[in-house]
Amino acid sequence: MVKKNDNRDFSQIPRVVIKRLFKYHSALENLLSKGTVKVSSKSLSADVHVKASQLRKDLAYCGEFGTRGKGYDVKYLNGKLAEILGLHTEWNYILAGFGHVGHAFVCYEGIFRKGFNVKGIFDIDEKKIGQVFRGIEICDISKMPEIVREHNVQIGVITVPFDSGQSVCDKMIEAGITAILNFAPVLLKPKKSIFIERIDISRELVTLSHYLSHHKE
C-alpha cells in the first residue's frame, strides 16, 4: 500500500528527528558519491550508528519510501530528505561577533557545501569594522537592517559574548531575522516568536563528564 505524501505537513517533525534525518542525508550523500543505487535500512542505520527500527520510525514521518525487503532508492530518499531539511534551496545568513567563534563559524567546512552563504558580519570593535573578510565587509550593527533587507537574509548567527547575546538577538529580530543559531552562553528570550537553536559547548562537555563519572571500564 502506498500513501500519498505530497501534502504532508513536515513542520510537526520533532527537532530530535530532524537531527537524525540530517545524519541519514549525510550518509546518503556519501553513498550517492560512491554510485550506490539501493540501500537497506539495516545498512544505512549501521552507517550512522542508529538502530534500524529507529531509522524506519524516523522515515515514517516523511512518507512511505521503498518496498519492504527491497531497500531504499538512495537518490530518491536523499532528494526527499533534502527537501524536508530545507536543503533544496540556498540560505543567506548574517553573523554578529567576529571573534574566534565567529571566525570559526564562517570558515567551517561543510557550511558552504550545504548552501549557507554569509551576507553580513557585524562587530563592535572599531579596529575590525571596515575590514573585508572573504568578500564581506565587517560592519557596525547599525547597518544590520539594511543588509538583511538587501540580501533577503533570514538566518542570524550569534557569536558574541554572554553579556551582549540578548541585545544582539533583539536587534536581529527588529531587522527581520526569523531563525537564530546562538553560540553565546545565554538562554535568549526573544520578544517575538522566532526559531532559536542553541549550541552550548558546556552542555556537550558535560555529557562526557557524566560518562566518565558513571561508566566503569
Q: How far is the CB of 217 from a copy of itself (least distance, A)?
A: 7
Q: Is the dihedral of CA 140, 145, 151, 155 positive or negative?
A: positive
Give me the half-sphere count of Cα atoms (radius 13 Å) on the Cβ side of residue 86.
Answer: 10
CA gap 155, 118 in Å, rounded = 9
Cα of 15 vs its chain's centroid, Å: 11
Q: How far is the CB of 51 from a copy of itself (least distance, A)?
A: 13
Tell me which residues touch a copy of itself (CB under 8 A).
9-11, 13, 15-16, 18-19, 22-23, 48-49, 83-89, 91, 99-101, 103-105, 107-111, 114-116, 154-155, 161-162, 178-181, 185, 187, 195, 197, 199-217
Give whichever of 52 and 196 is closer to a copy of itself, judged by the CB atom: 196
- Closest to 110 (Cα-Cα) out of 22, 16, 6, 200: 22
Residue 143 identity (one-letter amino acid) = K
Give whichever of 68 and 214 is closer to a copy of itself, judged by the CB atom: 214
Give whichever of 65 and 133 is closer to a copy of itself, judged by the CB atom: 133
Give whichever of 145 and 185 is closer to a copy of itself, judged by the CB atom: 185
CA gap 180, 156 in Å, rounded = 5
Q: How far is the CB of 120 from a copy of itself (least distance, A)?
A: 16
Q: How far is the CB of 6 from a copy of itself (least distance, A)?
A: 14
Which of 169-189 are b and which e, b meaning 16 or more Cβ less than 10 Å from the residue's Cβ? bebbbebebebbbbbbebebe
Give whichever of 2 and 162 is closer to a copy of itself, judged by the CB atom: 162
Q: How far is the CB of 33 from a copy of itself (least distance, A)?
A: 14
